[in-house]
């Protein structure tokens, strides 16, 4: 018995990955990460400033005895509570507001990234933006696997994109 040499295999270039539309490509991993970190920094600063104002209002309406607060006026307590609620709402609605408004958060703009509908590349509305926010929570809740999924999916979609039917693209 003689063994024949293995068959010759010619190398073929892989099929090119079709982008979402001419002139538009899937968002790069690094750009998405840096944009998300920038957005987190922006949210952190804005919410901290608003909460500090609320703490100042609370402090100004307080009566101190030594180094402890013994009473707070009702007006100061109500005003501070409203300011703290505003801080929470700003932090919660930051992403959906910008996604529904034009598809770009402040952190996405320097990288020309945009969230669009996966089906046709159109703008997303408030309902989809809020659903994508829920998807962000889900994506991060399980050891950030939903974000890591961006490296696995051929269209670079995270769980938030799969849940909301969106995709992040780079381009006009």
Domain boundaries, the chain: 25-170
What does pLDDT average to over the chain?
91
Pick the residue with more confidence: 71 or 146? 146
Distance (Å, rounded) from C-alpha 171 to C-alpha 112?
Answer: 6
Q: What is the pLDDT of residue 2?
A: 61
Query: How far apart are the C-alpha atoms of 117 and 20, rounded to whole Å?
Result: 10
Within the chain, what is the greatest distance between any pair of CA atoms? 100
Reported in sequence order, the residue ranges of the chain that DSSP labels E, i.e. its strands, are: 25-26, 62-65, 68-72, 113-117, 166-170
Q: How far apart are CA 106 and CA 126, in angstroms?
A: 17
pLDDT of amino acid 67: 83
Q: Give the per-residue pLDDT at 88.
A: 96
Lowest-pLDDT range of 70-79, 83-92, 138-147 = 70-79
Residue 58 token pair: 């609370």
* Packing angle, helices 126-141 and 145-152, rounded to 10: 100
- pLDDT band for 122, please (50, 70, 90 cuts): very high
Query: Pick the residue with more confidence: 45 or 5?
Result: 45
Neighbour-count burial of 64, counting CB atoms closer than 10 A to its CB (0-12 exposed, 13-18 middle, 19+ buried): exposed
Cα(68)–Cα(104) distance, rounded to whole angstroms?
A: 45
Statement: the pTM of the whole predicted model exceeds 0.75: yes
């Amino acid at each position: 018995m003689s063994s024949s040499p293995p068959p010759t295999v010619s190398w073929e270039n892989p099929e090119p990955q079709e982008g979402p539309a001419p002139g538009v490509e899937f968002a790069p991993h690094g750009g998405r990460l840096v944009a998300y970190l920038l957005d987190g920094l922006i949210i952190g600063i804005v919410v901290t400033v608003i909460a500090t104002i609320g703490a100042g209002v609370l402090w100004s309406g307080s009566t101190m005895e030594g180094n402890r607060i013994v009473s707070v006026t009702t007006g100061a307590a109500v005003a501070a509570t409203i300011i703290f609620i505003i801080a929470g709402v700003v932090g919660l609605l930051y992403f959906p507001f910008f996604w529904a408004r034009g598809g770009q958060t402040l952190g996405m703009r320097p990288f020309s990234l945009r969230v669009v509908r996966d089906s046709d590349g159109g703008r997303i509305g408030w309902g989809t933006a809020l659903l994508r926010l829920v998807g962000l929570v889900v994506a991060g809740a399980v050891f950030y696997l939903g974000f890591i999924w961006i490296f696995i999916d051929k269209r670079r979609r995270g769980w938030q994109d799969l849940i909301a039917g969106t995709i992040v693209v780079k381009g006009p």
